[in-house]
Amino acid sequence: MAKVSKEIRDKYSVTIGIECHVQLKTNTKLFAGVSNDARGAAPNTLISHICMGLPGALPVVNARAIELASRAAFALKSTPSAFSTFDRKHYFYPDLPMGYQITQFYDPIVVGGKVHTNVDGTPHVVSITRAHLEADAGKNTHPAGADYSLVDLNRAGTPLLEIVSDPDIHSPAEARAYAHELYLLMKYADVSDADLFHGNMRFDVNVSVSMTDELGTRTETKNLNSFKSVEKAAEYEINRQIGLLEQGVKIDQETRGWDDGSQKTTSQRGKEQAHDYRYMPDPDLPPIELSEDFIARIKETLPMMPDEWRSKLAGLGLDVSQISVLLEAEVDNSNVEYLLILKNNLSNKNYAKQLANWFVNIEIPYRRDEANNPRILAPQKPKLYKAVYDMVEANKLSSTSARNLIQLLLDHEELPDNIEQYATDQGLVQVSNTDELEKIADTVIEDNSQAVADIKSGEMKALGFLVGQMMKLSKGKANPSIAQEILKNKILS
């Protein structure tokens, strides 16, 4: 599809709403005491009479899923509903054993909410319409060339939270930012593993364009499983719809799919094939009633959300991109505990600032380089960083040595008992001993007569060069400020 020109595109307003299915990290399924982790399991091994929809089987709700959905409510700046119900959504499909999906149609567990995003420095707010619990379906596979299909019910009954946004999104970049922020929220609230590769979060993107105040006909592109595909599919749909409208062709309300290979959306199901789901309250499941105590307890146990962290980290002097690096790195690896360590040290602002810097500039890049093998466990890290910090404060480490020491220590599974002794043994402790430094200064002055002459004639830039030479000779151990003082005294007095 040819991209429409900016001129044409600017005539249209774009409206996007996103539905996101988040797989909750429960041990067992939403309505059956069967393992919820289907990764690597042989087909149809994680099933019970409930997952199979056998006669007489009754669903029993998993209390943990209610808890996680309640946490998600707070992450979405909402409050879990004190009263919510389960409903049946009817349709026939081989991956849906009971002939209906159990979902929350009439009274969902989350009503309302907000997600704050930021695109190139411009803040946006996306309102949340609702979020509801529902059971996932199984998986159909269609072996190539076979005259049969296979059904795997391992995934049937996995608890999902479907988060529905208002149509508050107006560009592909905003759509991507929203999807990404949802991901961080679910990670920080510890509601989901949010493993996109394994489909823990799946996005359905509703797009319409219009030249008037009235919304245009929308299409829904389903089952996107990366932030990039959310952005690309929205972009593609906008171009496709404007292209059609410019030719005078009406948009069909339809369900579309995204093909990562061709980077295109394709029609899957038209409006005329839409189901009448005949929603009905599920008489097998009493309403979920949450007490005030329960709701208060959930709120208390919720960790700091990305938003709060952003303002805290900005207060420590980190810039937007550093903050982003830190917030991402935290969720990429659950064993790093950057934020927990920071949180425990927020009262000491200087130290917290130094920590955040070291995380962003030393530990995170160090871990990212696959050549390195950091073996340290998160609980040991507070000791590591405190020791390094104290040595820096006592002028015993240069910033270069601090970096070297941190990197060396990250490779330790067990930290040395005496970190200062270890640093000394590694030759990292900086030389503040003036006798020793004066000897080095003499050598440097003797070997660099031109620089010395420059300094004498007032070109102080050359002083930095001489300090650098001292650092070189001392193998980085010289305390640079003391070295500079000595040089000045020797040359200028």
Regarding 209 and contact with other proteins (CB under 8 A), the answer is: no
Q: Which of 17, 80, 97, 216 binds other proteins (CB under 8 A)?
A: 97
Q: Which is nearer to other proteins, 226 or 253 (CB)?
A: 253
Regarding 92 and contact with other proteins (CB under 8 A), the answer is: yes
Which letter does DSSP use for residue 375 in this model? -
CB of 279 to other proteins, least distance (A): 8
**Which whole-number Å values give the CA distances from 469 to 58, 451, 472, 477, in the listed order?**
79, 11, 5, 12
Residues 389-418 that bind other proteins (CB under 8 A): none
Are the CB atoms for 53 and 98 separated by under 8 Å? yes
- Is residue 292 classed exposed, middle or buried when 0-12, 13-18 and 19+ CB atoms within 10 A define those classes? exposed
What are the tokens at 258?
């995204």
Interface pattern 33-62 for other proteins (x via CB under 8 A) = ----------------x--xxxxxxxxxx-
What's the CA gap between 313 and 117, in Å, rounded? 17
What's the CA gap between 15 and 228, in Å, rounded? 18
What's the CA gap between 338 and 341, in Å, rounded? 5
Q: Which stretch binds other proteins (CB under 8 A): 93-101, 114-122, 396-404, 470-478?
A: 93-101
Residues 150-189 that bind other proteins (CB under 8 A): 151
Helices (H), 113-264: 172-188, 227-246
Q: Which stretch binds other proteins (CB under 8 A): 16-24, 96-104, 217-225, 351-359?
A: 96-104
Q: Which stretch binds other proteins (CB under 8 A): 84-92, 316-324, 359-367, 414-422?
A: 84-92
Q: Which stretch binds other proteins (CB under 8 A): 5-13, 122-130, 234-242, 280-288?
A: 280-288
HSE-up of 224 (CA within 13 Å, CB side)?
Answer: 30
The helix (H) or strand (E) run that includes residue 332 is helix 320-332
Q: Which is nearer to other proteins, 6 or 142 (CB)?
A: 142
Q: Which is nearer to other proteins, 90 or 116 (CB)?
A: 90
Q: Which is nearer to other proteins, 92 or 197 (CB)?
A: 92
Nearest residue to 60 (alpha-carbon basis) of 288, 249, 233: 288
Nearest residue to 340 (alpha-carbon basis) of 354, 355, 319: 355
Regarding 88 and contact with other proteins (CB under 8 A), the answer is: yes
Regarding 284 and contact with other proteins (CB under 8 A), the answer is: yes
Q: Which is nearer to other proteins, 34 or 387 (CB)?
A: 34
Regarding 98 and contact with other proteins (CB under 8 A), the answer is: yes
Q: Which is nearer to other proteins, 98 or 467 (CB)?
A: 98
HSE-up of 345 (CA within 13 Å, CB side)?
Answer: 22
Beta bridge partners of 246: none
Nearest residue to 128 (alpha-carbon basis) of 198, 90, 72: 72
Helices (H), 76-167: none
Q: Which of 283, 291, 414, 493 binds other proteins (CB under 8 A)?
A: 283
Q: Which stretch binds other proteins (CB under 8 A): 195-203, 283-291, 370-378, 393-401?
A: 283-291
Regarding 309 and contact with other proteins (CB under 8 A), the answer is: no
Regarding 285 and contact with other proteins (CB under 8 A), the answer is: yes
Regarding 378 and contact with other proteins (CB under 8 A), the answer is: no
Q: Which stretch binds other proteins (CB under 8 A): 98-106, 242-250, 357-365, 429-437?
A: 98-106
Beta bridge partners of 128: 165
What's the CA gap between 99 and 92, in Å, rounded? 5
What's the CA gap between 277 and 273, in Å, rounded? 12
For the chain, how far is it from start to end, CA to CA, in angstroms? 76
Regarding 63 and contact with other proteins (CB under 8 A), the answer is: no
Q: Which is nearer to other proteins, 156 or 483 (CB)?
A: 156
Q: Which stretch binds other proteins (CB under 8 A): 193-201, 284-292, 316-324, 387-395?
A: 284-292
- Is residue 190 classed exposed, middle or buried when 0-12, 13-18 and 19+ CB atoms within 10 A define those classes? middle
Q: Which of 94, 315, 317, 464 binds other proteins (CB under 8 A)?
A: 94
Pairing of strands 219-224, 87-90: unpaired
Regarding 105 and contact with other proteins (CB under 8 A), the answer is: no
Residues that bind other proteins (CB under 8 A): 49, 52-61, 88, 90, 92, 94, 97-100, 149, 151, 276, 278-280, 282-286
